[in-house]
Amino acid sequence: MFRGSLVALITPMQADGSLDLKAFAEFVDWQVTEGTQGLIPVGTTGESPTLSHDEHHEVVEHCIAAARGRVPVIAGTGSNSTSEAVALTRHAKEAGADAALVVTPYYNKPTQEGLYRHYMAIADAVDLPILIYNIPGRSVIDMSVETMARLAKHPNIVGVKDATANLTRPLHTRATCGPEFCQLSGEDHTAIAYMAAGGHGCISVTANIAPRLCRQMHDAWAAGRVQEAIAIQDRLLPVHDAMFCETSPGPVKYAASLLGKALDLCRLPMAPVAESTKQRVREAMTSAGLLN
């Protein structure tokens, strides 16, 4: 079971737009030492849509090497092509990942039956734990609870990253998929509320720049120190808001640059964030005690 504070990792890049794998390895090590409980490379936050297959493989491999078995690595392996998702998932297993995060196929808008067959094909092809990544805001489609319950019967399909921000979902998912089906919020704002509704943790964007605070919030919640957890949540709220005031990962990459962890650089079609966004990010990080 994956639980607690997990991070959807950024992918640092050099000034020429190539991968900065040295900075990435250092960033992964910092995440682990700061308390992050799980690493998710090459997801949306890691700019997977603009990485070549070779780059995708490199990032996964470097993440696993830098993690050194200290925390689980859940590699992003989704695609809107089932054969491509199978190939990426197969590579993740061969590289030593602990699980794969597979996003619902974007753009081609499959039916619920198409979604079912897509995930079953991947789970049948690769013996690796799979988390479904349900994010209707980016994929357009929304996997129903009923479809997820069908998929949960497969031994390799072990959980979901739920980015619907619908707090009835974890209740119904728990009822239909069972309490052992791993439920992770994909929305920083809902982390505590999601766990209160039966979730097990959060795959966070904010944890890229506030890993220790995010871990402390999850630890407080797990220990029953509810008011402490809520106080940290309140402290991080302006940061969450700032991370999504423009399309992610633009703001979080800028925030990471303020900490000296990566250049403020995303690949096109992601444009540099606006000056107003930079100001908002700086102010939020300062108010949360992340910048002096």
Residue 267 has pLDDT above 90, yes or no: yes
Residue 80 has pLDDT above 90, yes or no: yes
Residue 292 has pLDDT above 90, yes or no: no
User: Where are the alpha helices (H) located in 126-186, listed in sequence order?
Assistant: 136-139, 145-151, 169-177
Name the percent of the chain lying above pLDDT 90.
99
pTM above 0.85, yes or no: yes
Position 19 scores a pLDDT of 98
Please state, in angstroms and rounded to a whole number, the distance separating the CA atoms of residues 187 and 152. 22
Average pLDDT estimate for 19-41: 98
- Confidence band for 58, pLDDT divided at 50, 70 and 90: very high
Whole-number average pLDDT of the chain = 97
Q: Are 147 and 116 in contact (CB under 8 A)?
A: yes
Average pLDDT estimate for 57-69: 98
Active-site annotation holder among 161, 253, 261, 278:
161
Position 235 scores a pLDDT of 98
| Class of CATH domain 4-224 | alpha beta
Please state, in angstroms and rounded to a whole number, the distance separating the CA atoms of residues 89 and 128. 8
- Confidence band for 173, pLDDT divided at 50, 70 and 90: very high
In tens, the pLDDT along 111-149 reads: 999 999 999 999 999 999 999 999 999 999 999 999 999
In tens, the pLDDT along 205-260 reads: 999 999 999 999 999 999 999 999 999 999 999 999 999 999 999 999 999 999 99
Whether 22 is catalytic is: no
Contacts of 195 by beta carbon, 8 Å cutoff, 6+ apart: 185, 201, 202, 221
Helix, strand, coil percentages, rounded to 5, for the chain: 50, 15, 40
Say whether 100 sits in a helix, a strand or coil.
strand
In the chain, where are the structural domains located? 4-224
What are the angstrom distances between the C-alpha of 227 and each of 20, 162, 203, 217, 232?
Answer: 40, 25, 22, 10, 9
Position 1 scores a pLDDT of 80
Whether 161 is catalytic is: yes
The region, left, alpha or beta by phi > 0 then psi within -120 to 50, assigned to residue 220 is alpha
Please state, in angstroms and rounded to a whole number, the distance separating the CA atoms of residues 130 and 92. 11
Residue 31 has pLDDT above 90, yes or no: yes
Active-site annotation holder among 119, 133, 194, 254:
133
